[in-house]
């Protein structure tokens, strides 16, 4: 890729999560941004922001194919109803021109539904991966059809040389902080799911939704890597932004294949495992893992800790 051309990023969805990601990418001034939107009124708003807006549907296979093959980075913000669209995106990235750089496909997962067996009184950390495995694959959890579809495509070597990342949960990137500044209905659904599943939501979102910008969950889903060489690790929370940024930045220069491999290996080495949880961070903040707390108590305690940290 010529050094004077910015990497091209395609964002499929600019709602709650997608809008927040879009703001983060615009702030770097390092990318040519294209956004697929479904409403005509969104086009003008995005164009004013310096984003090339394309009106269409992810279910239009030929349209999506043409978009995907023209971009180096494709970001799809998670939706359980878009499995057919996801398959088309992955089909497209595998058929990019042979001389082009390997594309990056990032999916912001809706895998929070895997956590229906979790409890706010339990602490899940890297020290006991078997506990997370039991939680994720519990029969009580809803099937992560889109995530498993992506996993299968990679496992069966159907994505060419693409680097694939599943970032979960997508809501970690922000609530109502996108270009349309609204609390997404999908976020409310997520919150209801977490509360009904007895998970502690570490945020004041329910009590003060218009002013709240970020929602955090105590228990975070695992990121799996069946074929590590094809995955670029991205953790949730602040770390995921940094890792995601390293993926984008890596497209800027003219590094050879060996340099790319070394960068990916180094990133994986830093994480040590294929999954991370917030348990260790909570312990550092003084959270007692065995102490059962209600949703309200957990939220109040977390807000107090954050206030002290930022004082």
pLDDT tens for 144-194 read 567 667 767 776 777 777 777 665 443 333 333 333 333 333 444 444 444
pLDDT at 83 over 80: no
96-124 mean pLDDT = 56
Residue 287 confidence (pLDDT): 38
Residue 53 binned pLDDT confidence (cut-offs 50, 70, 90) = very high
SS3 for 160? coil
Alpha carbon distance 52, 270 (integer Å): 35
| Confidence at residue 109, expressed as pLDDT on a 0 to 100 scale | 59
What percentage of the chain carries pLDDT values higher than 70?
31
Structure confidence at residue 26 (pLDDT): 74
- Between 5 and 196, residue with greater pLDDT: 5
Query: Looking at residues 55-68, what average pLDDT do you find?
Result: 87
Q: Which of 228-232, 239-243, 246-250 has the lowest mean pLDDT?
A: 228-232
Mean pLDDT in the chain?
A: 55
What b/e readout covers 163-176, taking b as 16+ CB neighbours within 10 angstroms? bbbbbbbbbbbbbb
**Sheet of 52-55, strands arranged across:** 52-55, 32-37, 8-12, 73-77, 104-108, 163-167
Render pLDDT for 211-237 as a digit per residue (tens, 0 to 9): 222 233 322 322 222 222 222 222 233
For residue 205, what pLDDT band results from cuts at 50, 70 and 90? very low
Triad 72, 91, 146: Cα angle to 5°: 100
Question: Where do runs of H (alpha helix) occur along the chain?
Answer: 16-28, 40-48, 61-68, 83-93, 129-136, 145-155, 185-196, 238-249, 257-271, 279-284, 295-310
CA distance 283 to 268: 24
All structural domains of the chain: 8-310 (3.40.50.720)
Write down the pTM of the prediction: 0.52
Phi, then psi, of 175 in degrees rounded to 5: -125, 115
């Amino acid at each position: 890729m010529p050094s004077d051309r910015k990497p091209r990023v395609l964002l499929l969805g600019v709602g709650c999560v997608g809008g927040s990601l879009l703001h983060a990418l615009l702030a770097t001034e390092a990318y040519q941004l294209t956004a697929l939107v479904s409403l005509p009124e969104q086009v003008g708003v995005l164009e004013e922001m310096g984003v090339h807006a394309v009106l269409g549907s992810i279910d239009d296979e030929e349209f999506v194919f043409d978009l995907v093959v023209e971009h180096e980075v494709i970001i799809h913000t998670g939706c359980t109803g878009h499995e057919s669209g996801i398959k088309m995106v992955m089909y497209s990235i595998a058929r990019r021109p042979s001389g082009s750089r390997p594309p990056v496909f990032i999916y912001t997962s809706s895998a929070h539904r895997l956590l229906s067996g979790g409890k706010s009184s339990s602490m899940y950390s890297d020290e006991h991966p078997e506990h997370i495995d039991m939680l994720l694959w519990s029969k009580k959890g809803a099937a992560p059809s889109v995530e498993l579809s992506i996993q299968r495509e990679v496992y069966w070597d159907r994505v060419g040389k693409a680097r694939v990342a599943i970032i979960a949960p997508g809501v970690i990137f922000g609530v109502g902080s996108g270009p349309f500044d609204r609390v997404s209905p999908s976020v409310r659904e997520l919150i209801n799911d977490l509360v009904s599943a007895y998970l502690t939501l570490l945020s004041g979102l329910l009590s003060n939704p218009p002013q709240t910008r970020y929602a955090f969950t105590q228990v975070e889903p695992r990121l799996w890597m069946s074929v590590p060489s094809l995955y670029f690790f991205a953790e949730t929370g602040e770390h995921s932004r940094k890792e995601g940024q390293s993926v984008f930045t890596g497209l800027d220069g003219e590094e050879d294949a060996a340099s790319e491999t070394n960068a990916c290996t180094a990133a994986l080495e830093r994480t040590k495992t294929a999954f991370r949880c917030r348990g260790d961070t909570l312990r550092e903040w003084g959270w007692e893992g065995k102490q059962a707390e209600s949703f309200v108590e957990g939220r109040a305690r977390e807000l107090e800790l954050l206030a002290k940290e930022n004082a």
